Copies of this chain bind each other. A is one copy, B any other.
Amino acid sequence: VARPKSDSKDLFIAATSTLLRRKGYHGTSLKDIATEAGAPIGSLYFLFPAGKDQLVLAALHASGHGVEQVLDSVLAGEGTAEAVVRRYLSLIEAVLVGSGYIDGCPIATVALEVAPLHAELSAAIAAIFESWLAVLERHLRRVGLTKSKARNLATLSLTAVEGALVVTRAQQRPDTFAVVIKAMTEFARSLSE
């Protein structure tokens, strides 16, 4: 019987990811995290001796890897570049709208708050974005795009999504995301011809 050893650690990380998505780095206190995780704050110092930054770093990695996995499975399957892009954008839109425009991208918020002043976090964030770009690019190549076109489309898709998250959170309406999806699929189709 495998004991899950310390699920507290994962609880803390999950709670941190959630709160980072909603209120960002400076807006998330360790007390909030402990409350959200349902664990005492004292344990936190033992599990993450380097403090808040270590915890945030772990949460960013976990979120980044989680999204990467989901993307990889959602983007798989038959289809054109247009379909790949549409599945990507729709996935992110669904998460945002489904949470009442509360749950955005934890990576983006932290990026705007601390990068590039905080070197370690910046590097981690950049690596996560790269990993997402790599997944997108791989799937776009799989459905027939050239390396150059795949890279460009992946990059624009990522930035458009991140930007749409910013704008849509403030608007609290799905309009902008819908327009972005429409425009991006159109662009993807034009690249496939």
Contact = CB atoms under 8 A, between A and B. Distances in A.
A169 to B, nearest CB: 4
Query: Which 6 A-B pairs have CB atoms at the shortest separation, nearest pair first?
Result: A159-B163, A26-B26, A163-B163, A162-B163, A125-B170, A109-B112
15 contacts: A24-B113, A27-B113, A101-B115, A105-B112, A111-B170, A112-B169, A115-B172, A116-B170, A126-B170, A152-B179, A158-B167, A159-B161, A160-B163, A162-B166, A183-B187
A174 to B, nearest CB: 13
A190 interface: yes
Interface in A7-50: 22-27
Interface in A152-193: 152-153, 155-156, 158-167, 169-172, 176, 179-180, 182-184, 186-187, 190
A151 interface: yes
Given A115-B172, A166-B166, 15 more contacts: A23-B26, A24-B26, A27-B114, A104-B112, A105-B112, A111-B169, A113-B113, A129-B167, A129-B170, A152-B182, A152-B183, A155-B183, A162-B163, A162-B167, A163-B163
A102 interface: yes
A117 interface: yes
Q: Which of A104, A159, A182 has the most CB of B within 10 A?
A: A159
Interface string A88-122: 00000000000011101100110111111100001
How extensive is the interface on chain A, given as a class? Answer: 35 or more
Contacts of A160: 156, 159-160, 163
Contact of A155 (B22, B105, B109, B179): B179
Contacts of A172: 115-116, 122, 126
A25 B100 CA distance: 22
A23 B112 CA distance: 7
